[in-house]
Amino acid sequence: MVLIVDHRKSPNEALKSVSHQQVLTLLHNKFVVVLGDSIQRSVYKDLVQLLQKDKYLSESQLRRKGERSFEQDCLVEGGCLSSLHNGTGYREVRQYQTDHHLVRFYFVTRVYSPYMKSILNDFRRGPKPDVVIVNSCVWDISRYHSEWTEDYKKNLHQFFDELKGVLPVETLVLWNVTMPLAERIRGGFLAEMEHKMSHLRLDVIEANFLNGTLADGYGLDVLDLHFQFRFSLQHRAKDGVHWNAVAHRRISWLLLRRMAQAWGITLPCPPASVGRQKPRYF
């Protein structure tokens, strides 16, 4: 099912629609897994933040990667425990755990690979996730093959096939469609790929159509973040790839609203105190 939400709703309105207490209740005794790149890492971080307080992520929290601990989580593998780099072999596994909540993040650079197979084996061994939030696109289409379409399509099929075979039917799988890239991208893992910058944002649009269509065909929920944020580019970071804290709180709201819908729960309006802190912009 493709989830389309009114694009006229501003990120600040979205912030007012979710609170720490609601997230604590909604994710009570739930195991949530987030798979993907640095944007997905910030998706993970905002969920961890919301499980503890009504507060935006700071600029430094959004920018950092591989740190030993973020808001009482722990770095399980990779990151600063090995080496911080921008190569396709970079690994980072994070986990936040309480008596009633478990949230885990795996950094991945390819939607299907030997490393992804090892993650799926983690799911086989258990525990089984209640929710999997996944995206893999920009690395797939920019770092492996210049003619990426067939390779990416094949890997998507393999990933969706195995994921469906590993997870119980009641697991909610949310595919996050890649957010809009700028025409010019600065810094980060794409800095050395100047020859691809002129058309990468258009490649992402093509890849989004492919991955969203396939994900929908496999019965996954598709959250079209490219559509959602196409008129909210003021919340994109100066590097042309990442997004600020307001955007990530809106993503959390979209994800949590879908979880609530899937579980037959209505999210009431939170207290007016939510979002009292003004976020810093990039």
DSSP, residue by residue, 66-88:
S-S-STT-EEEEEGGGS----ST
Pairing status of strand 101-107 against strand 92-97 = antiparallel
SS3 102: strand
Of the candidates 282, 196, 193, the one whose C-alpha atom is nearest the C-alpha of residue 240 is 282
d(CA 101, CA 79): 23
SS3 112: coil
- At residue 256's C-alpha, the angle toward residues 105 and 238, to 5°, is 65
- Which residue shows structure tokens 């396939």? 214
Tell me what pLDDT residue 267 has: 73
CA dihedral for 86, 148, 240, 282, sign (positive or negative)? negative
Question: What pTM, to 2 d.p., does this model score?
Answer: 0.89
Spans in the chain with pLDDT lower than 70: 1-17, 187-198, 268-282
Radius of gyration of the chain (CA): 18
Tell me what pLDDT residue 187 has: 65
Tell me what pLDDT residue 281 has: 30
Cα 1 versus chain centre, distance: 18
Pairing status of strand 92-97 against strand 74-78 = antiparallel
pLDDT (tens digit, 9 = 90+) per residue, 238-272?
999 999 999 999 999 999 999 999 999 987 654 43
Tell me what pLDDT residue 146 has: 85
Of the candidates 100, 39, 34, 98, the one whose C-alpha atom is nearest the C-alpha of residue 72 is 98
DSSP assignments along 201-257, one per residue: HHHHHHHHHHHHHHHHHTT-EEE-HHHHTTT-GGGB-TTSS-B-HHHHHHHHHHHHH
CB 173 within 8 A of CB 221: yes
Q: How many of the other CB atoms lie within 10 Å of CB of 84?
A: 13
Tell me what pLDDT residue 194 has: 57
| Domains, the chain, with CATH or none | 2-30+110-262 (3.40.50.1110)
pLDDT (tens digit, 9 = 90+) per residue, 169-193?
999 999 999 999 998 888 665 555 5
Tell me what pLDDT residue 190 has: 59
Q: Kindly list the distances between the CA atom of residue 143 and the CA atoms of 88, 200, 215, 238, 259, in Å, as whole numbers in the listed order.
A: 8, 11, 22, 22, 33
Tell me what pLDDT residue 126 has: 87
Tell me what pLDDT residue 63 has: 95
Edge-to-edge strands, sheet with 2-3:
2-3, 221-223, 172-176, 131-134, 30-36, 101-107, 92-97, 74-78
Tell me what pLDDT residue 3 has: 43
